[in-house]
Amino acid sequence: MGSGGAWLDYDGDGNLDLYLINGSTHDRPAGRGEPNRLYRGDGKGHFTDVTETAGVGDRGWGYGVAVGDYDNDDDPDLFVTNQGANVLYRNNGDGTFTDVTAEAGVGPSPWSTSAAFVDIDGDGNLDLYVANYMESDISKIPRRGDKIAVQGACGYHGIQVFCGPRGRRPEQDQLFRNNGDGTFTDVTQSSGVALATPRYALGVVSGDYDNDGDPDLYVANDSVTNSLWRNNGDGTFTDVGIASLTGLNADGRAQAGMGTDFGDYNGDGWLDLVVTNFAHDLNTVYRNYSGRFFVDESSLAGLGVTNLALSWGAGFHDFDHDGDVDLLIANGHVYPQVDDYDLGTSYRQTNHLFENEAGRFKDVSAKSGPGLRIARSFRGAAFADYDNDGDIDVLLTTLDQPPVLLRNDSPNAGNRLQLALTGTRSNRDGVGTRVMVTTGSVTRIRERKGGGSYLSASDPRIHVGLGAAVRADRIEIRWPSGLVDVLTDVPVNQLIHIREGSSPAPGFEKE
């Protein structure tokens, strides 16, 4: 399973900091493992461990992390998912955090994986979606000779391995509505996201796939049908995974969903999807057809080379600033035993970087530097411009080894813009904001998403590559509140701070 990491500016100095989740083992129960770690960044590529002074060294059996300013006080808070009780850390604004899990009402959980802060009802407060996996009682793991083990849950290509999820009971995901007073209410049932038969959830991301102005949710599930939760605009959701053709692959088969992300890879103004899957299967790209349905175009998009890898974290990002989103996927097997057999795969694997060429992905991993030739059992992928040089870097977490930080030094990269959003009527983080950047006849869309990838949280700033363009003719920012801000004739290669509904400035207007 592994664990993830998160980028955030916890102290408001303009530099991204890094929070890393530590897992555990069955012989080292929760509370006795290594603590999670917070590293303060200086914006120049150096980090200092500030875990103890910040007070965020949770020792639970950690998996994932979500970042969001749930109390709208202008600093990012942390939500940590565990096998057991989850933890909500409120940022005190002075370099320290306070564990407010109990008073906030978000602690009880079985075995949580990914999570996403997102304003589901447009009230200006970030709500919280928690993806849950399965029951966490270790004593209920199927053993060799058990009926479920004999049926295949504990075997892989004839090899005896640690039992998979089908040997245990899946747990219901949870949705918590933010009450705006520091507390949350569990609305899992009333919102409609409670399934009659729960699923083994691993990844979650928010995005307005149907362009109706409210955030929808996609959940990647292990070994069973994935869920696409369409926001009905009244605080409820409908699962349209099957109806939208995103619940199964093109063969009508459930895959082993791990990580996921939304992104407009073909530039048509509609958010598409990527879902990572198990070894000997394709990672899946679903093309969005005008918000009505999706089509599995994995092979057509060029992802056939991934069929031997076991994949986890993933992200649509424009790594070379040519104007379209590329795709990076983190790989690594779950069974060390595969190295002893001729299965065409290995425990430690290299990652995949795909360059977007007119809506088709070309594998450029081999020529993209030594960092992409490192072989480990990778898991989470958190994307960010950690060194403030304008391009997207990536932090990759691993199983049983230190994380890997890959700095982007792409040669001949194009121009770009970055936008740091601050909501006023909308949630402070601007989650759910749609940004449209026009140069000439081309308009590129980006969205401030909640969640995404696998167990991780990425740079909160919007990043847009512009190729050879030297100015953005128009930048339109559509906030969740319905307010629209517009910037015109904007020079490239800068970070722009945008406050929702702020007074007009040179090159800036409101609609």
Question: Which domains can be identified in the chain, with CATH numbers?
Answer: 5-134+170-408 (2.130.10.10)
Q: 371 φ, ψ to 5°?
A: -60, -30
Residue with tokens 């307005």: 208
Residue type, 381: A
Q: Which range scores top for mean pLDDT: 147-151, 156-160, 411-415, 425-429?
A: 425-429
Q: 150 φ, ψ to 5°?
A: -65, -30
Q: What is the mean pLDDT of the chain?
A: 93
Confidence of residue 503 (pLDDT cuts 50, 70, 90): very low
| Collapsed DSSP state (helix, strand, coil) of residue 456 | coil
pLDDT in tens, 434-475: 999 999 999 999 999 999 999 999 999 999 999 999 999 999
Give strand pairing partners of 286. Answer: 273, 296
Mean pLDDT (whole number) for 295-304? 94
How many other CB atoms sit within 10 Å of the CB of residue 212? 13
pLDDT of 291 above 60 = yes
Residues 6+ apart with CB under 8 A from 33: 22, 23, 24, 25, 59, 60, 61, 62
Q: What is the pLDDT of residue 266?
A: 98
pLDDT in tens, 210-227: 999 999 999 999 999 999
459 φ/ψ sector (left φ>0, alpha ψ -120 to 50, else beta): beta
Q: Which helix (H) or strand (E) holds 301?
A: helix 298-301
DSSP label of 132? E
CB 293 within 8 A of CB 338: no
| Collapsed DSSP state (helix, strand, coil) of residue 153 | helix
Confidence of residue 511 (pLDDT cuts 50, 70, 90): very low
CA distance 396 to 403: 6
pLDDT in tens, 246-263: 999 999 999 999 999 999
Pairing of strands 494-499, 415-422: parallel
- In percent, how much of the chain has pLDDT > 70? 94
pLDDT of 390 above 50 = yes
Sign of CA dihedral 209, 187, 114, 337: negative
Q: Which helix (H) or strand (E) holds 148?
A: helix 147-148
- Poorest-confidence range of 70-84, 266-280, 292-306, 389-403? 292-306
CA distance 383 to 373: 18
Residues 6+ apart with CB under 8 A from 335: 156, 159, 161, 162, 347
Confidence of residue 182 (pLDDT cuts 50, 70, 90): very high
Residue with tokens 């958010």: 271
Q: What is the pLDDT of residue 138?
A: 60
Q: What is the pLDDT of residue 36?
A: 98
Confidence of residue 18 (pLDDT cuts 50, 70, 90): very high
pLDDT in tens, 307-361: 789 999 999 999 999 999 999 999 999 989 998 988 888 999 999 999 999 999 9
Confidence of residue 425 (pLDDT cuts 50, 70, 90): very high
pLDDT of 506 above 50 = no
20 φ/ψ sector (left φ>0, alpha ψ -120 to 50, else beta): beta
pLDDT of 163 above 90 = no
Q: What is the pLDDT of residue 151?
A: 47
Q: 338 φ, ψ to 5°?
A: -65, -20
Mean pLDDT (whole number) for 136-141? 63
> For 450, what's the count of Cα atoms within 13 Å in the CB-facing half-sphere?
35
Helices and strands per DSSP (H, E), number in the chain: 4, 37
Burial of 506 (0-12, 13-18, 19+ CB in 10 A): exposed
